[in-house]
Chain A
């Protein structure tokens, strides 16, 4: 042992899966119907990355059958703490573990939860999971420059804007810039 071995009062361990409003859990086959509905709702998918075409039930089922969550693909269903209602999903994906870097994706599919702090709490909870459980050094994401609500949330929890990809995405008849944002360990608020 190094130095004095004075007994430190132990902090009450809070669940690494839980925030103030939501809980992260593994995805289940029973989630299919809600996810299928959300990912075919253009209002939900407007600012998501790849969801340009309608998706089939089979595609949705296949997605839910993937292994995980694990270090390579830490994907979660998001449910409310109050009544365990499924409201969305969030993912941290890593490629080369030496970099300790993950890419974050989030969707709050339940529109009654928009503007209620659920997205912010989901972001904080998954980032805390990334740093405290996965031992990540960096979490990055991209979002449409037009997605002002999301950008405000990301900045609020500590993400910094790192770059703009001009005319990166074409949808609904025009091009949109993509904003690259990053959060390093120690920066989560």
Chain B
């Protein structure tokens, strides 16, 4: 008997579509150097750019979700499965926990588990892939904990803060989520 658990909910967080009220909060995260440290984009975000990124209806090719706490419905970040290919059943994962008070509290881990479960159980994915900065030890630890395996290193793939950084490629196949 399969548990009738909500596909949107983990133990600590819930995934939902973005609403326009989220935009100012997301905008502040996207321009916070500490939050941005290990994320991809390097230029400041406009309000319009944040809105355009967030406000599309989540769908197979662009399944971006707002992440809120189960306890009090507070927006704490976002997570998405992007550029899914139905032939390979593969997608690329991106995550940010923008609310720094939630760092190191298990929210990132629970968000990862929840979105990966969504990817496998609702989107019927076979493979979920992500890039992580080699020096982002906290994130790597979380990804490994839930089952992601290190597959390779893209050397000097990012130039940021005046120097090059290695990007590690990690991936999780169906059946491997812990």
Interface residues of A (CB under 8 A from B): 71, 94, 96-100, 133-135
Contacts and interface: CB of A to CB of B under 8 A. Distances in A.
B57 to A, nearest CB: 14
Contacts, number: 24
Contact of B122 (A94, A98, A135): A98
B52 interface: no
A97 B60 contact: yes
A135 B85 CA distance: 10
B123 interface: yes
A99 B86 CA distance: 10
A132 to B, nearest CB: 10
Given A94-B86, A97-B123, 17 more contacts: A71-B86, A71-B87, A97-B60, A97-B84, A97-B86, A98-B60, A98-B122, A98-B123, A98-B124, A100-B89, A100-B124, A133-B87, A134-B87, A135-B86, A135-B87, A135-B88, A135-B89
- The SS class assigned to the A binding surface is loop
The 10 closest A-B pairs by CB, nearest first: A97-B86, A98-B124, A98-B123, A135-B87, A97-B60, A71-B86, A134-B87, A100-B124, A135-B89, A98-B60
Interface centre among B84, B122, B124 (most CB of A within 10 A): B124
Contacts of A96: 60
Contacts of A100: 86, 89, 124
Give the interface size bracket for B toward A.
under 10
- The SS class assigned to the B binding surface is loop
Contacts of B86: 71, 94, 97, 100, 134-135
24 contacts: A71-B86, A71-B87, A94-B86, A96-B60, A97-B60, A97-B84, A97-B86, A97-B123, A97-B124, A98-B60, A98-B122, A98-B123, A98-B124, A99-B124, A100-B86, A100-B89, A100-B124, A133-B87, A134-B86, A134-B87, A135-B86, A135-B87, A135-B88, A135-B89
A100 B84 CA distance: 13
A43 B159 CA distance: 65
Nearest to A134: B87
